[in-house]
Structure 1
Amino acid sequence: MGILDNLFGNKEKKELDAPAVKSITCEPKTVYSPLKGTVIPLSKVSDPVFAEEVMGPGVGIEPEDGKLYAPVDGEIVSVFPTGHAIGMKTEDGMEILLHIGIDTVQLEGEGFHAVVKQEDHVKAGELLVEFDCAKIKEKGYQTTTMVLIPNAAVLGTMSEPHMGTVKPLEPLFNFQ
């Protein structure tokens, strides 16, 4: 995959065989928290593309630390070259977009280290990205992390999301 490896980074995986946080059995069409932090409504996110659900419904999370974990069991379908965004897909077809920060693409990867690559299969709780919250804020960007479901329209009705403090792998919302 030469060129793609160069674009997306051909970095060694950091012990992806062992989840970084407790292991769980994922319920179908359920999204779990990928971070430790505070969940806020998507409508409160300062970027209108996310707040107006252009990229799909979901939540924002104000992270307490710089570790993004897999919120579901699934395949990594995309890793943005800068490491600030990850796309996943579950076996039952749910698509998840994880986007760290507002306008952080402008950092061109500074402060981000993706530890997965496209086509990796991960379990909920495995580390996906490490990011430096202090560096991101120092450069003038917000660290609000979006958990979005671009194909929500085909999944059914989304439950009311969990709001407030959350730890990795606590349920955020599901579809019925």
Structure 2
Amino acid sequence: KFQKARTTFFSKEASALLRPKLKTLSDNDLVFGSNDNVLLAEQNSGQILRRCIIKLGLDMKTSRTELNLINTHAFRAYGITKLSRHDPNFARRLAGQKGYLDQYDRLSDDEKLALYQKYEYELMIDESKKDKARIEKLESEKDFRINRLEQTILDMQDNLKRLNPKS
């Protein structure tokens, strides 16, 4: 946007679909834009999305205004909303909305990536991938808890041996 390079995070789900396209582009090619003119590129992306939505039978309108329910802004709003429920400052930062406290809240790219990965499962669209991510997270939490319980049992056994040396 505005000929300015920026770091952008993509979910694993989106990355799998983007990699083949990125391999065909050179460094200065537009990834999503179809025209160097920002207005024309925005119009083109909206039209492409509209055609795909119609083909999929998802052409829904709002009841009062007859505006398209699924549009490019809806994807952005969805992501910001989901991330805001966990970390509102991080969500605004990813959306490019700067606040006056940004100067005090400096995150490195690695810290931003770690935060993004922590909440990435919220941004997935494919329910089976969401479920898989939830399962992986729950398994990780389960393993952590089991390890902690095993350590507690060992500590208790050591304490018991010290209190009752004859056994």
Higher relative contact order (CA 8 A, sep 6+): 1
Could you say which structure has the higher helix fraction?
Answer: 2
Normalised by the size of structure 1, how large is the TM-score? 0.22
**Bigger fraction of residues in strand:** 1
